[in-house]
């Protein structure tokens, strides 16, 4: 299997970094931001020249998956119906003191991980947690640098089939995919986790998550 086209919701530093990395791997990219597509022309010329700007409502059309890379405080602005049936990679992060939508805070208060909260809200989508525990600088690093580092990136989801799709994307981007037990374990990928923004090989990543889960 090979990923041919992805959609990215969010045209900030993380979203455009993924767009550049994907394009360099031969993947077609559609990207949507808060501005209308016609107003993103010059922004994308500078930060993601190979990406196609589209409206947010079109982001899930004819793609293998969509990466959700908007601030969590802006999730109420994302139309859940437009993402129905799509594999949605939750690449968002919860930052301290960030104002959150009421439904999101309620889910966290009930003890859910951020990705489980997003899965409840985007109930028509299939949700996987990935691509959030790496900085946008490292995501867009030179492929030779990536190959030398042999850095592992984790995937948390409840579907083995979806894990395989996300693993293909991660491999094409130049990283080593590591499957976690389920979506709930995506908690280990959040900013407070022991692997966040750490350059780790597969064995070290698995070891750190195992130690954290055992606590």
Burial code (b: 16+ CB inside 10 Å, e: under 16) for 14-45 equals bbbbbbbbbeeeebbbbbbbeeebeebeeebe
Q: Give the mean pLDDT of the chain.
A: 94
pLDDT in tens, 199-210: 999 999 999 999
* Total residue count of the chain as it appears in this document: 215
| 144 or 163, higher pLDDT | 163
Is a pLDDT exceeding 90 seen at residue 172?
Answer: yes
| Rounded CA separation 214/148 (Å) | 31
The yes-or-no verdict on residue 38 having pLDDT over 90 is no
Q: Tell me how far apart the 2 most distant CA atoms of the chain are, in Å.
A: 50
3-state SS record for 177-210: EEECCCHHHHHHHCCCCCCCCCCCCHHHHHHHHH
pLDDT digits (tens, 9 = 90+) for 75-118: 999 999 999 999 999 999 987 788 999 999 999 999 999 999 99
- Looking at residue 141, its pLDDT comes to 83
């Amino acid at each position: 299997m090979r990923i041919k086209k992805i959609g990215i919701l969010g045209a900030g530093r993380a979203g455009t970094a993924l767009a550049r990395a994907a394009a360099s791997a031969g993947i077609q990219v559609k990207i949507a931001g808060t501005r209308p597509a016609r107003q993103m022309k010059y922004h994308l010329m500078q930060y993601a020249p190979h990406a196609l700007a589209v409206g947010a409502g079109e982001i899930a059309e004819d793609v293998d998956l969509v990466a959700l890379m908007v601030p969590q405080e802006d999730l109420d602005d994302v139309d859940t119906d437009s993402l129905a049936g799509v594999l949605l990679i939750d690449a968002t992060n919860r930052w301290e003191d960030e104002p959150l939508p009421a439904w999101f805070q309620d889910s966290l208060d009930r003890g859910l991980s951020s990705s489980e909260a997003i899965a409840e809200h985007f109930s028509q989508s299939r949700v996987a947690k990935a691509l959030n525990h790496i900085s946008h600088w490292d995501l867009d690093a030179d492929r030779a640098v990536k190959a030398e580092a042999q850095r592992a990136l984790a995937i948390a989801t409840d579907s083995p089939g979806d894990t395989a799709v996300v693993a293909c994307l991660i491999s094409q981007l130049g990283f080593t995919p590591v499957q976690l037990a389920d979506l709930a374990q995506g908690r280990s990928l959040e900013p407070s986790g022991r692997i966040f923004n750490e350059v780790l090989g597969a064995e070290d990543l698995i070891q750190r998550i195992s130690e954290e889960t055992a606590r």
